[in-house]
Every structure is written in structure tokens, then in C-alpha cells.
């Protein structure tokens, strides 16, 4: 069943793909304003270069108008063809060099000779071109002209966020990043699924408050945490949205604390709602969970993704493109995150309204004729009630029953509808 | 070694077997008065029909004088031959019907064509006959006369209990049920072993208070809990006595909390005192542990039985009879429950009377000549003492030593006799 | 790499080997005064015979000048040849007996016919000779003269200890025993490694206070605990030094509590710093951990040894000699205990100085060019920092990272040198 949100994900990703994003600059701004067109609730914010954010300093803003490398046989690479051809944050250059002098400025992958690698140098001034290893090895000695028409000057770092309030001010955090140029799974899949989730969440009567954060990776998350410290006390569970667009099986990267609500929710979902999945260690982390979980922040943030960053060959190369990401990949991820959110929305502990078992028969929930064999439906309801002690959450009960928490939502609703359990208190978690 | 209690179990079960028990009525009263003849300390109590017990209402009392089904070929079934022939709580009927009209009132088991099923309809008015599938399929079209000479009218629900006080008023609970007609393992084995345990316990100088409860299943346990709320704060451990009469290996069904004293005692016993056993999940529960463990009650009640209700083919059919239950089955269960009680009686933590190891040699508990190899007896005593820190109970120490708690009772006694440990405080648990 | 401490261990063991030690007496005094020559900080103490130490009484002092057994074929055994020939604590005797009368005074091992067993009778008056089973079976009937020139009279029990103060008065305890005659692995290896560790520790700027205890086994440890009760509140971790001189793989015998600092330190070391090791249960204990861990003392004392006492055939026989113990065995043990101490010295929890991840690049700890693949060194540093939350100790972090705690000491130092973590508080443990 395709929903209204499914179809828009793929076209949004296609629209965003060509933009040259980086840690800062107009590519990020263009990206965020497209996202704001989709979700007007987004707030776009700027932090001036030179601002100290914890141990880091916001760097100069980088913008690029064009770049090319030309040699004895004509044009070698042009920024217009693929924005990965330029090392991110390259300083401006217009020089003629021998191949030998040029060589240290050329980046390629010997092990993937047909892929252009994605290379950046945010915190040290460099310039360089990225190209396929095949092409690099075919370059003839001679004079080469290297032109990068970029600027590196004080400006600002741009990010966006959006808070959808719920009945409770306890928050569910989704964080994704917007700093990679034409790379599809890592990272455009994240913002695209985030936008779909935001649109869907706006239609819900929400139990929790939802915060979505769109930042450049690492320094953006660090800056965000410094500027929004309320986060630290309000966050119930958080998720980094990354690499959710390919067709690979799902992966789970735990939070530092390993057993938070975010971890439990992901694990239950993966154990019961998908065929197969892969579990990583927190030691394998690499995205913004590094900041959200660091000892001085310590938020319950875990990552549910498809093929983990760094593990698929297309990662950080020109092969992570619109062929690698699929519409099925995106919609499958979106649908799993919908279930995740539904579980969290229904996770508050309930308490049975009567000390012993209720009489299900008089409520037409149990067969009045008692003979060998019994209804699984009644049995699951009774098992669910057996743990409604005001302490076990939906996820806790699902674990006891070895069932999908998502599948128990309707059992919980049945129990609520028949007043077999009390309405949960908002401060129950 | 047969004890005085062994022989009486089998004859008591034979005596009780023919009585037509149900949720209420004279069959229950006849049963309980036989039990009271054996254990005069039993108190028999009545709760009037219509009494509200938590979510339930005590139903009208059901009594039956006779019933038969007659057809073109003569008598089909007669209540006199087997009280399972009548659906429990059948309303009175005296009607002549065609086979087609009769058919929905006939209950049989296609998968067990030679067995009469046990069927009840306590909370919705019905009438019906149970018969073997073979017989049902042989019925010819024609006129049938169905007669059930029963009454369903305000009366009461009957149950019994018995409290044997001990040094401590903390209680060990045994609960069994008395509501099944001529069914031997489920359920007569329970009351019969309960009576034997009561007779034996009366001869002991008891540490704990023992409460035995004989109720109709489910509503009886619920009513009991409502009327005896002191139970809720006093119960140290509890056990449902059911299905303890066959020759199958023992089974363990945990309490809801899974790691209570009742659970630990059963598990240690099964791990060390029997050859093989089966462990179930609390999700497999089906008897009165459902009430004792429900969230609003939450008692430490687990079930130690032989073949679990619902798992053996004879269950709830005419095959669960005096051939299925054996004298060995009953006496083996009785003997295991004796060990269970002995372990609980000796479970209070002790504390060593000296900071370091005692000198066993001067007490003739250790070889005064030290050479390679050492006595296992002294070693077990020293290992036992190593955990006598005032916190570890007998069961805790048995788990540390990977030994039967029952086998450690004499080691504990040796330590007490030599003043190597202090007498346990009554409030040590 | 041999250190100055390595070479001295072997020669010290050779020097100590011939001395006839026992529970009390001049052999112990001679042994301790050689140890004090090596470590002048040792204090030698005496406890008078008859002194009550908890449940025990210090026995009379035993000294022996000589002993022999002579028969029809001449000298059978002589104390001068091997001090194991005399049962420890033999009362004096000078008697002529038939072989039949002598027989109960002769001790040998049928299963090890070429070994002289080590036999003692501390707490009951006996006399006896130990010899090889081969020799015993060759004795001819006839008259035998048995002479043991010993004294058993009020004197004292001798022991020694040494406390090296550190920045903190919390103590690390090493306990070893000095009561076995010419037996090399059990027990001379213990005191010899203890002396090497003491010499090395004196050169360190110590975080913790170190207490070394040299006592006769069992009664010595009990007496020590009675006389030094401050130990009970100060000890952070403790280790019994025994059987550390052979070439066998290392063994671990846990403390009674099983998960103390001593246990964690030993386990991490064995899991990451040696190829293979064996884990025992606390139920297998047999040395002074019996006293240090007993319920009334309850110290965090575990044992790290090579081949465990009681498990190697040479144990408590004349085969546990200078051929069984090796220089490599001793120096390997010494080196592992050095690592153990280094880990404990660096085990205090640190806390990161910044809420999020630090910028390693500006400190030249991270590659400024970001491309596929990353430095393992930076990764380990970031992983280390990820758990520097003021709670996780070095050992805790090592367990999280599945790395040797010893290997993390330099990572911790790097973090300290770059002010990435705060200096630990002394009372952090």
C-alpha cells in the first residue's frame, strides 16, 4: 500500500541530488529551503564563522562557482559533471603545473578504479581534484591547468530544525545531516525520510513532542547541542537518520548506554517486523550518535539504518547515486520508522483495573463454551494484561511475550476500549 | 520406603473419583466433606450466588440428579455411566428432537474418537451431551429424547481452607481445585496430594505457617483472594497443586516474576532431585497461578506438576481416569513436595560465628593429618560455611555449590550443632 | 627484556630452597630474615604459642635438628638428605621397632612411587617418616631405629609484613606464605615474586598503598587478620601469591564475590595478555583466599597463579623442586603482576573535559584529510573517550572496548596529556 508520503520521497531525493552541499555555504541553504518548502514548520538558522562551539570553531564559509582540470589531452574533469570532482573546502586555485606537481592534488581509489571518491579537508587549507583511478592512471605527463573558483571566507554555518509539540513535552529526536554533495544514500536518504515522517506526524494527535534536526554532520550536531541545551533533559529517545535509502537489510547501531528506550524500540522492531537485520557495536559508530551519546551529553540516541555507512562499497564515492538508492528502499525505511513512532506513542505503561483476571466472556472476548484448545486472541489479550502492572511498557510486554510491540498496539487498544486497563499517566515514562 | 501417607492417597482418589463435581453444588460439598474427614482442621465455607468477586459474579448453583439420551436404537448415553456425558452447568431439558436438531447439543472429539470430552458452559445457558466421536458418528436419523434433570438456581459456591500455624506467621500457600467431575490427574491428584501433605505437616514443628486452599478453579481462586486479603502480605511462596498423579516427568511453570522463592525452590529440586524435567513459560499458564500472579495480586506462586494440563492426550477427556493416574505417580509427587517443604523450612540464612574459617580438626570434622587429597565431607561443610554470611539462604548456597538444597539440610544442621553458624533469625527472609 | 629484578628471583629461590620451614620455628625465621635482607622495609613479628586467634590457637613452636630411620640394611632415610622425610610437627622419638609397628608411621604415595610426599600433623601429636613408595615396599622385616630430634614447646609463630604508602591510603594486598619446607612452586615461588614486586614498587610513584604479607598458611593469615583489622576497611583489591614459578599456563581463582576489582583486573589481563588460561571456581579454593574471603572478612581477594595447587602431580611431593620451577616461569609471573599493578595504578575513572567529541585534528591526533578508512589510533582514542564519563574505570573501558586494560594505559596518558580528560580524583574508586 503506497501512501501519499511514499511517492514524494523519491522525487524530493532526485531534486536534491545535484546540489553541491558542504559543511557550510549556499548548497546547504538551497537544500534547507527546499525542505522548508515541504515542511513550512522548519526554522532555518545561521551561526557565524568563528563562533566557538564547545571544543570546535565554526569554520569559514565555503562556496564554489566552478572548477576544472585541463591537460595535454583536453579537459580532464569538470565540476559541472560531478561535484565530487573537487575536494570539499578546496581553496581557490588557478595554476599550471606539471603532472608530477599536480599528482599530490589528485585523489582516486585504487581498489575501486571506476569510482570518484568523496574527499574533504574542512580544517586544513588544501585544494584537490577527485577522479576515477582509471582516469588518473591514464594521465600523460605534460602541463595541466587546475582551476577552482571557490571562496573561503567568514560567513556562517546553516542548519534547520522543527519541533512538533505533543501532549507531553518529552521529546523524540530525529537528527539527520545535510552536508554531503551528490551522494544519495549517505546522506540524502536521511533528510528525505525525515521530511516524510514530519508530514505524517503533523497528521497525528501526538503523545510526545517531536524534534527534527537538519545539520552538517559533526560540527553541526555539536553546535546544535550547544545552542539547544533543553534537549538534554527532555529527550526520551532519539534516532540518527542516515543511510535509509538502499535495498540492504536493516542495521542497528546501539546507543552508548546500549539499553535505552531507543535501543529497545529498534530491537523489537527488527526482531519482529523484518526478516533479517545486522547489529553493530557502539564502537562502530560514525555519524552524529558520536555527539548525542558522548559522555557530556549522554542522550538515548541509537541508529536504525539499512546498509551501515562505511560498509557498502558505494559509500563515499560517486557510486552512491540515484541507482544505488531505490524507491522501495526509501518507502520501506519510512514505513519501519512509522511503526517505530507508533510503538513509542503507545509505550506508556498501563495498569489493570481489576486485581485478578477479568471475565472476558461477559465482554464477548472469550468463548463461553470451555473445551480443549483456546483462542489465541483471548490468550494474547490475557498475556498482555498479565504484565499491565503499571511498570511494564508496551516494549517491555512485547519482550515478555516475544511479540512485535507494534502488533500489540491493537491489543492494548482493545484493553483500553473495554476498560480492562487504566489510561496511562503522561508521566508514566 | 512407603510412608503411612502414601497408601492413603490412592484409596482417597478412588473414593473421590465417581463424584460429579462442578463449579458449585453438592458434588463439591461431598468432596470437601470427605477431605475434612481426613483433615478435620479444614474449614468449609459458602459464598452466595450473585456475590460479586472482583470482576466476576458467583453464578447460580448447579445440581444434577440424572440425565440420559435415548434414540431409535435405545439408550445412547446415561449420566449414571459417566458424569462427563453431560455438559457441565447444562440447564434442565426434557425434549424429543430429530437428530439434526440434536446435533449442535452433542460434543465429541474427532481426533480422539474413543474419548468422551469434558465440556462446560458456566456463564452461558446451554445444555448438551458429550460422547465418543465413534458413537456420535454411528447415530441414525430419527427421534431422540434428551433428558437432563438438573437445577440451576441461587445457592452458593463452596470451598475450603486450612491454616497450620508455624513459628512465623509468614505463609506457604498450596492451592488446588475441586471443580472437575470424574477426572483423575486434572484434578483429583491435587486435593489428594494436598491432604497427604497436610497430614504430614501436622506432625512437624513448623517454621512457617501453611495455608491450603481447595476451591473451584478460577472463580474460586478469585473469590478466595477477595475474601482473604491478608494472604497478599503474608505469602512467602505458593504452589498450585495440579496434575501430580501421572507417571510423566515433572514440569515447572514459573511465577509471573520468574525468580521468586517458589521458583528457586522448585528449580533446585528439579535440577538435583529428579532425572529430567520440563520448563514452561508463564505464558503457558492455565490454572490458578493466573489469579495468584495477576498484576493486582502478584504473589510468588509457581507450579510444580507432572505432565502439564493441556499437554497430555488424556487431558479433559474420559481417559484421564484411574488408569492414567498411578500410585507411584502420586507418591513420587508427594515425596518431592515433602522435600520442597523441608527446603523452605530450612531456608533461613545463617551467619558464621567466627570471622575466618573455623578449625574443623578440633571438632573431629577434619582429618588432623594433612596430606594430598581431602575429605569431600569437610569440603562441602567449608563451602557451605563460605556463603553463610547472613544473606545467602539455603537455596542461594545450593545454587552457588551446584548442589541439591535438600542435601544441604544435614550440612546446615551439622554447622548448627557445632555452633559454626548462628541460629537464623525468624525475620531473616 | 630482562630487568634487574628478574635475575635475582631465581637465585633467591635457590637460596631459600634447602631451609626446613614449618608453621613455626627457626626455618621460618631464617626465611624471613633473608627476605628482609632483600627488602629492609619488612617487619618481622612474633605471636606467642597459646595465643587465641579467632577460632584457632597458636600451637607450640616446632624445631628439628635432625632425624633418621635405620634398619637391617642400614640407613633408610635421613632428614639431612631431604627435609620432607619427616612428617611436619613430628614429636621427638628415639625408638627401636619391628617393621609392623613402624609401618603406621611411614607415609608414601602408591600412585607416585618415586616421590616423597609432604605430610604434616600440626594439631595432633604424631611422628612419622615420609619416603618413596618404592623404598617403603622394599623394606625388609626386622628391627628399625627411628630417631627424630625435634622440640615441640611454647615459643611463637613468626610472620612478616611491609606497607609501602601511596598517594591514597587505600591498599592493594599481596599475601603469600612461608610455611612449606623444600617445596619450590608451592610455596617458594610466592615469596620470591613478592620480593621482586616489592623492589619494583619501591621505585614507583605509587597511587595506592601496597601491603605485602608473609605468613604461615591458614593460621598465619587468620592471625594476621585478627591483628590488622584496619585491612578490612582499606583493601581495594588483594591477591594471594602462590604457585607462580612453573611453566604452566596461568590460572584464575575468583574471589568469593566473584566480580571484585581483583577479579576484573585478573580477567582482563588473562583475556588479553596471555595466550591461554584456566578459570577455577571459588569452590576450588585452597590457599589463604579461604580466610581473606570468608564471610566475616569478605575482602576482594582473588588468586592469579600458574598451575593451581593440587592440580599438578608434583604438588606436595619432593618433585616440586628446583627442576619443576623455572626462571622463565618466575619472570613471566613477575611481569604479569607488574602489568596487573600498572592497571590498578591507572584504574581511576576520568571524565572528558568537553561535552561532545574533541576536535582531534587541531591537536594533530586525527588526519585532516577525510577520506574512506580512518586511523585505528584515533579510533581507539575516541572510543576510550566515549566511556570517560567519570564512572567507567580503565578496566570498565577495557571491557567495553574488548581490549587489554594495560594497552589502554598509554591511550589514557595521551588523553591526559592533551587535557581531553580531567585528572582523576583520588577518591574516585
Give the residue extent of every domain in chain A: 8-59+156-345, 61-153, 351-422
State the average pLDDT for chain B. 95
| pLDDT of B350 over the 90 cut | yes
Is A121 close to C370, i.e. CB distance below 8 A? yes
Give dist(CA A337, CA B166) in Å, integer.
58
Q: Which of A117, A296, A316 minimises the CB distance to C355? A: A296
- Residue A160 grid cell: 534547520
- pLDDT value at position B372? 64
Cα of first residue to Cα of last residue in chain B, in angstroms, is 33
Would you give per-residue pLDDT tens digits along chain A (429 residues)?
A: 455 656 689 999 999 999 999 999 999 999 999 999 999 999 999 999 999 999 999 999 999 999 999 999 999 999 999 999 999 999 999 999 999 999 999 999 999 999 999 999 999 999 999 999 999 999 999 999 999 999 999 999 999 999 999 999 999 999 999 999 999 999 899 999 999 999 999 999 999 999 999 999 999 999 999 999 988 999 999 999 999 999 999 999 999 999 999 999 999 999 999 999 999 999 999 999 999 999 999 999 999 999 999 999 999 999 999 999 999 999 999 999 999 999 999 999 999 999 999 999 899 888 777 766 557 889 999 999 999 999 999 999 999 999 999 999 999 999 999 999 998 765 544
If one compares A2 and C420, the residue with the highest pLDDT of the two is C420
- C352 close to A (CB below 8 A): yes
- Residue A350 grid cell: 498501563
In this structure, what DSSP letter does residue B233 have?
H
Q: What is the pTM of this model?
A: 0.93
- pLDDT value at position C6? 60
- pLDDT value at position B58? 97
- pLDDT value at position B366? 82
Q: Please classify residue A369 by burial: count the beta carbons closer than 10 Å to its beta carbon, then call 0-12 exposed, 13-18 middle and 19+ buried.
A: middle
Chains that touch B (3 or more CB pairs under 8 A): A, C
User: Is the domain defined by C8-59+156-345 classed in CATH 3.60.21.10?
Assistant: no
In this structure, what DSSP letter does residue B58 have?
P
pLDDT tens-digit map of C362-378:
998 887 777 665 578 89
| pLDDT of B410 over the 50 cut | yes
pLDDT tens-digit map of B98-150:
999 999 999 999 999 999 999 999 999 999 999 999 999 999 999 999 999 99
Compute φ and ψ for B364, nearest 5 degrees.
60, 30
Identify which of B86, B304, B305 has the alpha carbon closest to the alpha carbon of residue B186: B305
Identify which of C63, C59, C60, C58 has the alpha carbon closest to the alpha carbon of residue C19: C63
Chain A hits for B123, Cβ within 8 Å: 359, 361-362, 368
Is B352 close to C282, i.e. CB distance below 8 A? no
| β B93-98/B106-107 pair status | unpaired
Please state the rounded mean pLDDT for residues C211-227.
98
Give dist(CA B326, CA B417) in Å, integer.
40
- A221 close to C (CB below 8 A): yes
pLDDT tens-digit map of A345-396:
999 999 999 999 999 989 988 877 776 655 788 999 999 999 999 999 999 9
Give dist(CA B145, CA B102) in Å, integer.
9
- A291 close to C (CB below 8 A): yes
Chain C hits for A120, Cβ within 8 Å: 369-370
Judge contact between C159 and C58, C-beta under 8 A.
Answer: no
Is B372 close to C117, i.e. CB distance below 8 A? yes
- pLDDT value at position B428? 44
**ipTM score:** 0.92
Give dist(CA B116, CA B314) in Å, integer.
10
In this structure, what DSSP letter does residue A132 have?
-
Partner residues linked to C389 by β-bridges? C351
Q: Which of B119, B122, B297 minimises the CB distance to A355? A: B297
Is B356 close to C126, i.e. CB distance below 8 A? no
Judge contact between C203 and C241, C-beta under 8 A.
Answer: no
Is C388 close to A295, i.e. CB distance below 8 A? yes
Judge contact between B204 and B167, C-beta under 8 A.
Answer: no
- pLDDT value at position A230? 87
Is A54 close to C355, i.e. CB distance below 8 A? yes
Give dist(CA A19, CA C340) in Å, integer.
56
Is C290 close to B357, i.e. CB distance below 8 A? yes
Cell 506526524 sits at which residue?
A201
pLDDT tens-digit map of B322-346:
999 999 999 999 999 999 999 999 9
- Residue B130 grid cell: 458429550
Sign of CA dihedral C222, C226, C227, C231: positive
Q: How many residues does chain A have?
A: 429
Is B55 close to A390, i.e. CB distance below 8 A? no
Q: Which of C369, C382, C386 minimises the CB distance to A126? A: C369
| pLDDT of C428 over the 60 cut | no
- C187 close to A (CB below 8 A): no
Chain C hits for B355, Cβ within 8 Å: 54, 225-226, 294, 296-297
- A388 close to B (CB below 8 A): yes
Chains that touch C (3 or more CB pairs under 8 A): A, B
Q: Which of A119, A256, A296 minimises the CB distance to C369? A: A119
Is B372 close to C282, i.e. CB distance below 8 A? no
How close, in Å, is residue A352 to chain B by CA atoms?
7
Sign of CA dihedral A179, A184, A190, A193: positive
Is B54 close to A352, i.e. CB distance below 8 A? no
Chain C hits for B400, Cβ within 8 Å: 283
A:1-40 residues touching chain B, CB 8 A cutoff: none
pLDDT tens-digit map of C44-96:
999 999 999 999 999 999 999 999 999 999 999 999 999 999 999 999 999 99
Q: Which of B296, B315, B316 minimises the CB distance to A354? A: B296
φ/ψ region of C421 (left if φ > 0, alpha if ψ in -120 to 50, else beta) reads beta
Identify which of B320, B365, B336, B345 has the alpha carbon closest to the alpha carbon of residue B237: B345
Is A356 close to B126, i.e. CB distance below 8 A? no
Name the CATH superfamily housing domain B61-153: Domain of unknown function DUF2172 (3.50.30.90)
Chain A hits for B222, Cβ within 8 Å: 356-357
Identify which of C269, C276, C305, C266 has the alpha carbon closest to the alpha carbon of residue C288: C305
- B385 close to C (CB below 8 A): yes
Partner residues linked to A171 by β-bridges? A209, A235
Chain C hits for A287, Cβ within 8 Å: none
Half-sphere exposure at residue C339, Cβ-oriented, CA atoms within 13 angstroms: 22
Summary count for chain B: helices (H), strands (E): 13, 16
Chain C hits for A124, Cβ within 8 Å: 361, 368-369
DSSP calls for A38-79: H-TT-EEEEEETT-EETTEEPPPEEEEEEEEEEETTEEEEET
Confirm whether A8-59+156-345 and A61-153 share one CATH topology: no
If one compares B34 and C427, the residue with the highest pLDDT of the two is B34
Please state the rounded mean pLDDT for residues C160-176.
97
- pLDDT value at position B149? 98
CA-nearest residue to C109 within chain B is: B372
Is B316 close to A389, i.e. CB distance below 8 A? no
Q: Which of B54, B109, B283 minimises the CB distance to A354? A: B54
- A280 close to C (CB below 8 A): no
- B361 close to C (CB below 8 A): yes
pLDDT tens-digit map of A237-296:
999 999 999 999 999 999 999 999 999 999 999 999 999 999 999 999 999 999 999 999
Amino acid at each position: 500500500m503506497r501512501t501519499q508520503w511514499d511517492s514524494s520521497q523519491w522525487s524530493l531525493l532526485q531534486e536534491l541530488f545535484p546540489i553541491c552541499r558542504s559543511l557550510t555555504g549556499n548548497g546547504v541553504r538551497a537544500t534547507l529551503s527546499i525542505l522548508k518548502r515541504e515542511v513550512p514548520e522548519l526554522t532555518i538558522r545561521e551561526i557565524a564563522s568563528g563562533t566557538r562551539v564547545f571544543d570546535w570553531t565554526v569554520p569559514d564559509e565555503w562556496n564554489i562557482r566552478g572548477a576544472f582540470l585541463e591537460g595535454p589531452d583536453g579537459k580532464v574533469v569538470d565540476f559541472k559533471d560531478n561535484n565530487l570532482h573537487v575536494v570539499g573546502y578546496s581553496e581557490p586555485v588557478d595554476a599550471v603545473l606539471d603532472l608530477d606537481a599536480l599528482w599530490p592534488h589528485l585523489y582516486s581509489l585504487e581498489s575501486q578504479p571506476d569510482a570518484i571518491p568523496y574527499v574533504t579537508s574542512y580544517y586544513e587549507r588544501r585544494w584537490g581534484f577527485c577522479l576515477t583511478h582509471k582516469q588518473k592512471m591514464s594521465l600523460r605527463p605534460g602541463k595541466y591547468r587546475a582551476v577552482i573558483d571557490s571562496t573561503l571566507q567568514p560567513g556562517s554555518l546553516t542548519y534547520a530544525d522543527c519541533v512538533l509539540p505533543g501532549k507531553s513535552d518529552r521529546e523524540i529526536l530525529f537528527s539527520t545531516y545535510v552536508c554531503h554533495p551528490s551522494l544519495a544514500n549517505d546522506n540524502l536518504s536521511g533528510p528525505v525520510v525525515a521530511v516524510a515522517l514530519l508530514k505524517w506526524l503533523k497528521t497525528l494527535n501526538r503523545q510526545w513532542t517531536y524534534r527534527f534536526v537538519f545539520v552538517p554532520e559533526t560540527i553541526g550536531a555539536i553546535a546544535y547541542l550547544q545552542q539547544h541545551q533543553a534537549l538534554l533533559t527532555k529527550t526520551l529517545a532519539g534516532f540518527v537518520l542516515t543511510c535509509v535509502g538502499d535495498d540492504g537489510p536493516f542495521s542497528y547501531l546501539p546507543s552508548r548506554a546500549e539499553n535505552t528506550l531507543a535501543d529497545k524500540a529498534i530491537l523489537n522492531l527488527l526482531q519482529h517486523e523484518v526478516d533479517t537485520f545486522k547489529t553493530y557495536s557502539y564502537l562502530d559508530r560514525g555519524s552524529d550518535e558520536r555527539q548525542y551519546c558522548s559522555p557530556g551529553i549522554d542522550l538515548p540516541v541509537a541508529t536504525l539504518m539499512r546498509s551501515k555507512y562505511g560498509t557498502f562499497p558505494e559509500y563515499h564515492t560517486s557510486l552512491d547515486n540515484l541507482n544505488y538508492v531505490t524507491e522501495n528502499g526509501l518507502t520501506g525505511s519510512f514505513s519501519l520508522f512509522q511503526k517505530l513512532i507508533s510503538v513509542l506513542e503507545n509505550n506508556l505503561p498501563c495498569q489493570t483495573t481489576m486485581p485478578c483476571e477479568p471475565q472476558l466472556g461477559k465482554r464477548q472476548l472469550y468463548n463461553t463454551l470451555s473445551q480443549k484448545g483456546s483462542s489465541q486472541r483471548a490468550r494474547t489479550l490475557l498475556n498482555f494484561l498479565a504484565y499491565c502492572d503499571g511498570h511494564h511498557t508496551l516494549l517491555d510486554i512485547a519482550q515478555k511475550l516475544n511479540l512485535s510491540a507494534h502488533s500489540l498496539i491493537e491489543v492494548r487498544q482493545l484493553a483500553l476500549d473495554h476498560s480492562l486497563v487504566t489510561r496511562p499517566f503522561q508521566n508514566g515514562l
